[in-house]
Amino acid sequence: MSKPNMSRLHHAIDLLGKLVAFDTTSKNSNLGLIHFVRDYLAEYGVESTLFHDETGQKANLLATIGPKGVPGIALSGHTDVVPALETTWISPAFELTERDGKLFGRGSADMKGFSACALAMIPELVKRDLEIPFHLCLSYDEEVGCIGVGSMVDHLAKMDTPPHLAVIGEPTNMKVINGQKGKYSMRVGVTGTAGHSSFAPDHVNAIEYGARAINLIADKAREFEENGPFDQDFTVPHSTMLTTTISGGTATNVTPEYCEFTFEIRHLPDHDAEAVIADLQKTIMDTLDAEMKAKAEDTGFTFEKIFSYPGMGDCTDAEAFSYVSNIIPEISGKVSYGSEGGVFEKQGNIPSIICGPGSIEQAHKPNEFIEISQIEECLDFLDALTDQAAAA
């Protein structure tokens, strides 16, 4: 690939600085950033549609550049970031700082770098005679379970001519990722009976029953590891299941009345996570819950879904994938972390790949950074996409 226009590179870095300056930690509103992007696009005559959450404090942004009536390409990025509370930040987390060819700041890699590159391409896109449109898609609440993007994906899917490809700009060092696992996260409450621990046989120990349920989860994990299903293209070639948090008990001499834990399954795209969860719940209710209730009626288990998002399958056989493969021929495999690609594919029926600047190894860490060379590569990629989309 050739080097991108230097003024465009400087423009992308300037935009990244502005995006990073918005503290869009998932607990906060993202409207400041969204309104900034809306106003920026309006300067180039591009209209935006916002999809607000129920509180009105967060929104997705959708903007289309190019002709109507033909399928195009969605360029997708999330606006929220994880917290930056670590004390080991060398420079302010929400202030873009350049050092040694790197741009430091929360969200610089995950994933405001991609969004900045897409925005830096707007002046070029609006002046080109495009044969297919580009749909800029910026979402909220990806970091807490991909729970925000759905309303925008529903809108895209209902268009007369939905996009025929989505490029999810998560950090991949500009390598093409053709699959990701889905995730299903659950919270389990265990209610027992309290009493002096010297009379333990008379009580129902919530922690002990919780631990027995956790052992069942671990058994499932071992079953997946031994028996699959398998997909060797993934970094971890099978679904995984584990307990992630636990709390319970009040004192060393009191039989625990309550225990709570969370667990997750990260599943291959075609592995039915809901069926796995339902089977686990049935086993727990038929055995452990029934045993508890036989001793004390008001005891037992409760289950609460925290969130879920689908896996993203392989779309390399989709006709529109040629737009990407013409630029980056090599496929770099599938990943176990999540993205909104599964939502675009499963909920929106829009084939998706993951490809964006920066390294996932920098995500969610103090002193997060993106290399300037990655910004260059992303701009070059988007420039080549534009050339393919433009009329000859």
**Mean pLDDT over residues 264-289, rounded?**
97
pLDDT score, position 3: 46
Q: What is the pLDDT of residue 79?
A: 98
Residue 277: its pLDDT value, please? 98
pLDDT tens-digit series, residues 310-353: 999 999 999 999 999 999 999 999 999 889 999 999 999 999 99
CATH number for the domain running over 4-179+311-390: 3.40.630.10
| Domain boundaries defined on the chain | 4-179+311-390, 182-309
Instruction: Name the CATH architecture for the domain at 182-309.
Output: 2-Layer Sandwich (3.30)
Confidence of residue 2 (pLDDT cuts 50, 70, 90): very low
- SS3 per residue for 48-100: EEEEECCCCCCEEEEEEECCCCCCCEEEEEECCECCCCCCCCCCCCCCCEEEC
4-179+311-390 and 182-309 agree in CATH topology: no
Contact 116, 37 (CB under 8 A): no
The mean pLDDT of 281-298, rounded to a whole number, is 98
Tell me: pLDDT of 392 over 60: no
Tokens of 329: 């021929």
Answer whether residue 230 shows pLDDT above 90. yes
pLDDT of 5 > 90? The answer is: no
What span, in angstroms and rounded, lies between the C-alpha atoms of 172 and 330?
A: 13
For residue 235, what pLDDT band results from cuts at 50, 70 and 90?
confident
